[in-house]
Structure 1
Amino acid sequence: MHIVISGGSGFLGKRLQMYLINNGHQVTILTRSLDGHQKLEGVKMVEWMNKGNHPEAELKGVDAIIHLASESISGSRWTKAKKERILSSRLNTTKEIYRIIANLEKKPQVLINASAVGYYGMSETETYTEYSRSDANDFLASVVKEWEREAGKVKELNVRTVFTRFGVILGDGGALPLMVLPYKLGVGGTMGNGKQWISWVHVDDAVQMIAYAITHPNINGPMNITAPNPVRMKEFGQTISKVLSRPHWLPVPSVAMKLGLGEMSDMILKGQRVLPELARKHGYTFQYSNLNDALENILGK
């Protein structure tokens, strides 16, 4: 298959393109700059999102598009400018994906559009599946809903559209290294009250679930990219402690995180219990359904 990826140079995107190449697929990466990329056999780079770019001219025989490109929600406090970039990056790139598909003579079979479990809002008591409704109106939920609404317009072009709602992706990039660092320094402990849920997924499962969605035409709409066994923050920290043989003793109070991170602290202090019901229903087999096994694989290397 010929598979196009936007955001292919990120933590997940790099793992995804290697998986696809190793499985015999042709991969094209949409990138803002052609410079600085590692050249891989079987991967073509096409410039986009710059004035004068017409990437559709170089996209022939596309079978699937995976849209991951967006401003990171972490890295700095959520100032008004940061929030605007988070939302506009998602909407503007998705509008360009729509334009590209509309101008392709042969439409792709499917668009996989990145999304997030933040759609469901925050709760310590509720359990969410793809069939759950969301009345949440916090910043993350609002962003996700607008993003999915924009991506959903692609269905007007008779292209199957899947919204991959990612949980916390565990691997050698992303959030995990920052979460592990205090334990390596001997000062790890529970963040917040410890009751908040973490709906996690091993990066290998995240990659393979995307590929699974491409090859299973009955998968449509939202698809939770999470492991089947989410845990509370206290258990998450205790499992890191166990795998690394480091102490779990120094709690980080909620007030300290709110002072340090502002509104962005909600990502850590609040959470949601999200289950991958669609993947289970369609027969996906997880490599890592247990947190201890996932962390042993990642941290025990």
Structure 2
Amino acid sequence: MKETLLLLVPIAAEHKALLLERFAVLEALDSAARAAAIAARGADIELVLTNGTVGFTAAEIAACPQLKLLAAQGAGYENLDVAAAKAAGVLVCNGAGTNDDCVADHALALLLASVRALPQQGVALRAGVWRDALPLFPNFKGRRLGLIGLGGIGLKIAARAAAFGMVIGYHNRRPREGAGAATWFDSVAALAAWADDLVVATPGGAATKHIVNAEVLAALGPGGHVVNIARGSCVDTAALAAALKAGQIAGAALDVYESEPRPPEALLGFDNVILTPHVAGWSPQSIRATVENFIANVEAWRRGEALPTPI
């Protein structure tokens, strides 16, 4: 008999088919549908597939007494109540590593577009402005990239940036083995003062809230660019808007926002801000990989084996 799976994240039909083959799927993609599904079928739900933004609460865990496995689709799990799940004997896993390449690709695309001012140059061209009337924009070789977070995604961003000839620095709580030639900084402010550009690649949550703040932006300086592919909470939106307005930094490129899914109103009027709708980890390959990883975790649970990607 198929386990009952509560699906809280939208996925394409071709990927959902992989779940429908194996599970009895309850799809609940908004808060009303979610509450109704748990109220009506909470006693049947054995599996939950959510993500770090959508999460799953202690009250919801308590309302699903047969819950065996709680999974975050991607790497982030900041809004899953992991402690409550474990206290209830529920296994918890995420999709660590499944979309790292996609996120790293997107981060470099955002950084390149921001540093080279690709959107602004496209607008200028359409307005009849030729290159001789435009300022010169830097290339990557020799620029210093500061990575806030050097986990799996951060390492892949570093490798891509190094291939462009960038010099890599990073901030973690402590130096990381396997960081190669990258230089560790003991604070984000020190990293920003050294760097030409910053990419935020750290987990979300209370510990990293506004890790990029007014002090960090001032330290980065007027030639610097900020890219955020982590969580919206990591960047102080008001401070970023103020820094852009004052010309303290050169530009920003963001895939995540404190206000999401609403766009960041304070940033919409700047032509040197690039915005994408939290899609850095989304590609046909990466979404399929997250679903296959979830299935692999369920199959390991069925066999009584260790989960491939436990939290």
Normalised to the residue count of structure 1, the TM-score between the two structures is 0.38
Asked which structure has the greater CA Rg, the reply is 2
TM-score (ref. length: structure 2): 0.37
The one of the two structures with greater contact order (alpha-carbon pairs below 8 A, sep at least 6) is: 1
